[in-house]
Amino acid sequence: MIILGVDPGLTRCGVGVIEAGANRRLSFIHVDVVRSDPHTSQDLRLLTIYQGLCEKMDRFIPDAVSIERVFAQENRNTVLGTAQAAGVAMLAAAQRGIPVALHTPTEAKLALTGNGKAQKIQIERMVTKVLGLNTLPTPADAADALSLAICHALRPQGALQGGEREQHLTAAQRQWAQAAQKAARRAGVRAGM
């Protein structure tokens, strides 16, 4: 399975491509950053990001696209640009019939390190180790895109729904599944369910 990870951003949009083989063996394929000129209008910047993502999807023909779920930050302009870049990534995938998964930064950290509060350098080192790279992927947007692809590849499928499935998960994957279930329960409580 080929997975294309996207760390959305309006100036720098990280793109990482991996292959998840048998027994969840992960292989590095590609990493890059699609850039837009901050001195041009926002519509043209989004077009540049969209065209760059389309080129990557057409080149690597992924089976899934894993995009960072946008979360609230203090800088509203950053959140809006990130959300718009995530939207064009979803659009490019939808136009090609590629399934999209959204993962939070905490989910990616849990999948890689077992710690949802891991530091950026820890994530970069784990991406390097898991994919057998000789150097840390740069810039940080590129490492984040690879971490999102890895997160998608390692996500528990049906975890904690049956004891037999749970036995085949790593400790980090079990922790990831438990955190996802806890978050889903909290969201249900907040929604009045």
- 130-147 residue pLDDT tens: 999 999 988 888 899 999
Domain that holds residue 76: 2-155
- How many separate domains does the chain show? 2
Question: Three-class SS of residue 82?
Answer: helix
Active site residue 7: yes
The least confident of 40-44, 46-50, 130-134, 163-167 is: 163-167
Q: Which residue has the higher pLDDT, 35 or 165?
A: 35
pLDDT-derived band of residue 161, with 50, 70 and 90 as boundaries? very low
Higher pLDDT, 119 or 159: 119
pLDDT at 166 over 90: no
The answer on whether 141 is annotated among ligand-binding residues is yes
When pLDDT is cut at 50, 70 and 90, the band that residue 68 belongs to is very high
**Residue given tokens 């000789």 in the structure block:** 134
Tokens of residue 16, six digits: 């990482």
Catalytic pick among 68, 107, 124, 144: 68
Radius of gyration of the chain (CA): 17
One domain, residues 98 and 135:
yes
Residues 64 and 147 in one domain: yes
Which amino acid, residue 29? I
- Do 53 and 92 fall within a single domain? yes
Same domain as 45, residue 106: yes
166 and 80 in a common domain:
no
User: Of 7, 107, 124, 144, which residue is the catalytic one?
Assistant: 7
Q: Is residue 7 annotated as involved in ligand binding?
A: yes
In Å, how far are 11, 35, 47, 172 from 154, measured between CA atoms?
A: 29, 28, 31, 9
Query: Are both 100 and 123 inside the same structural domain?
Result: yes
More confident residue, 140 or 175: 140
Residue 70 and residue 42 share a domain? yes
* Cα 92–Cα 34–Cα 99 angle in degrees, nearest 5: 30
15 and 79 part of one domain: yes
Q: Which of 107, 124, 141, 144 is catalytic?
A: 141
Q: What is the pLDDT averaged over residues 165-178?
A: 55
**Pair 98, 186 in one domain:** no
For residue 17, the cross-strand partners are 4, 30
Over 50: is that where the pLDDT of 129 sits? yes
CATH number at residue 46: 3.30.420.10
Angle at 32 between CA 31 and CA 36, to 5 degrees: 160
Q: Are residues 100 and 178 in the same domain?
A: no
Least confident of 29-33, 94-98, 182-186: 182-186
What's the token pair of residue 53?
A: 């993502």
DSSP letter string, 10-61: SSEEEEEEEEE-GGG-EEEEEEEEEE--TTS-HHHHHHHHHHHHHHHHHHH-
Predicted confidence (pLDDT) at residue 123 exceeds the cutoff of 60: yes
- Residue 43 labeled ligand binder: no
Is 58 a residue of the active site? no
pTM of the full predicted structure?
0.79
Active site residue 107: no
Are residues 27 and 104 part of one domain?
yes
Domain check: are 83 and 178 in the same one?
no
